Amino acid sequence: MRETGNYIECRTGGEPFKAFIPHPLPPVPALRLSDTDYVLLERANRALGKLDGLAVILPDMDLFTYIYIRKEAVLSSQIEGTQSSLSQLLLFESSYYPGVPLDDVSEVSNYVAALNHGIARIAEGFPISLRLVRELHGVLLSSGRGSDRAPGEFRKSQNWIGGSRPGNAVYVPPPPEQIVECMGALELFIHQRVDTMPLLIQLALVHAQFETIHPFLDGNGRIGRLLITLILLAHGALAQPVLYLSLYFKQHRQEYYSFLQQIRLQGNWEEWIRFFLEGVKSVADQACATATHCLDLFRRDEARISEELAQSSLSALRVLSALKRRPISSIPALAKSTELSQPTVAKAIRGLEELSIVVEITAKKRDRVYCYQQYFERLNEGIDAAPE
């Protein structure tokens, strides 16, 4: 058993409890990784490299990036109990709200904004730092639920996980007066050049340590998962934010929380690292397969449009191109993005409906919304699936 921190006696409302203060990284004694673990690491790195290589071969990586960012936002928020779906987020972004749970979808939209803010900062050369972490948190909780939970500020009161109070909690993070020191040590480790520690292993340690510190009153899980993508971008391991590990964490939610708790209770970093590497490989492989499938779908649908829609094929192809970027859209929105007239778009949509490429999803006579169905279904895989 490895000791990963110390418990200190605290008290709130007259009730005693023990809060956990993690030791700074890296773990002591050092990680004990087997040859099998390094094989897993190599497979995860290869899968990540293949995913990153898609940016070179895809004709338009931006359209996949747009959706992947939103998929990660929905999945990460679902882990925290938000009920919003990918389709609801896209409807919200298109200003079509009927039936959309605004509190939930606003929360997810804020995650998209936080991730985009982080991506822009990394592109500017801004380092992964406590300042950036607070900025991200400020964007994440800028509106809606949690906006009264000190956005952009480390907590100044005690929080806990599980239970109704610290005295009966499953886990109690460090007290507020320890947060700056704990996070400062984590920041140093993020920038530490560890020649014997591969990036993915370092990233696994950073994510678990952040979750253990739990520095904010709300939004810790979402910020912790968001940092995974940003650190990969900052290190050049990904050129685009297309790794959505929240899918894996959602599908294996109980294991995810269990492995994090095992680190605190038993110092079992190795099992967590294996779980994390399996997640990287699994999600990277799936993202590659999804992109390849969608490219094949685009080619087939474009060929059918050219062959079967005759004189309206050019406008239909322009509408299809717009639906690749926004797979759920309306005629006015498509007219704006394609610079075609609304009657021309409506005619193209009718043609796409006849080919069963597009379906109308509102069953309304006015303000209709259309979906590029097979494309959206592939992008949506895993979002509505129940966790283990």
- Matching CATH topology for 5-289 and 309-379? no
Q: What is the pTM of this model?
A: 0.91
Q: Is the pLDDT of residue 97 over 60?
A: no
- The 8-class DSSP code of residue 236 comes to T
Percent of the chain with pLDDT over 90: 68
Query: How high is the pLDDT of residue 228?
Result: 95
Q: What is the mean pLDDT of residues 279-294?
A: 92
Choose the weakest-confidence range: 38-42, 83-87, 249-253: 83-87
Query: How high is the pLDDT of residue 386?
Result: 38
pLDDT band, very low/low/confident/very high, at 388 (cuts 50, 70, 90): very low
Cα–Cα distance, 149 to 47 (Å, whole number): 38
Summarised one tens digit per residue, pLDDT across range 338-378 is 999 999 999 999 999 999 999 998 877 777 889 999 999 99
Q: Is the pLDDT of residue 17 over 60?
A: yes
CA dihedral sign, ordered 272, 273, 276, 281 = negative
pLDDT band, very low/low/confident/very high, at 99 (cuts 50, 70, 90): low
Query: How high is the pLDDT of residue 385?
Result: 45
Q: Which two tokens stand for residue 210?
A: 């952040």
Query: How high is the pLDDT of residue 59?
Result: 67
Higher pLDDT, 109 or 214: 214
Percent of the chain with pLDDT over 70: 95
Q: Is the pLDDT of residue 383 over 60?
A: yes
Q: Which two tokens stand for residue 344?
A: 């021309």
Q: What is the mean pLDDT of residues 290-319?
A: 92
Query: 198: closest CA among 276, 126, 129, 131?
Result: 276
Query: Cα–Cα distances in Å, from 311 out to 217, 305, 321, 331, 351?
Result: 59, 10, 17, 20, 11
Q: Is the pLDDT of residue 95 over 70?
A: no
Q: What residue ranges do the domains of the chain occupy?
A: 5-289, 309-379
Summarised one tens digit per residue, pLDDT across range 78-91 is 888 777 788 878 87
Q: Which CATH class is domain 5-289?
A: mainly alpha
Query: Which residues make beta-bridge pairs with 12?
Result: 15
Query: How high is the pLDDT of residue 98?
Result: 53
Query: How high is the pLDDT of residue 147?
Result: 83
Query: How high is the pLDDT of residue 107?
Result: 82
Averaged confidence pLDDT in the chain:
90
Q: Is the pLDDT of residue 262 over 90?
A: yes
Cβ count within 10 A of residue 112:
20
pLDDT band, very low/low/confident/very high, at 145 (cuts 50, 70, 90): confident
Q: What is the mean pLDDT of residues 33-51?
A: 96
Buried residues in 133-162 as b, exposed as e (16+ CB within 10 A)? bbbbbbbbbeebebeeebbbebbeebbbbe
Hey, is 20 helix, strand or coil? strand
What is the residue-wise DSSP string for 306-329? HHHSGGGHHHHHHHHHHHHH-SEE
Residues in the chain: 388
Cα–Cα distance, 147 to 151 (Å, whole number): 6
Query: How high is the pLDDT of residue 384?
Result: 66
Tell the CATH topology of 309-379: Arc Repressor Mutant, subunit A (1.10.10)
pLDDT band, very low/low/confident/very high, at 143 (cuts 50, 70, 90): confident
Alpha helices (H) in the chain, listed in sequence order: 35-57, 61-79, 86-93, 102-123, 130-140, 179-191, 199-213, 220-234, 246-251, 253-266, 269-308, 313-325, 331-338, 342-354, 373-379
Cα–Cα distance, 303 to 316 (Å, whole number): 12
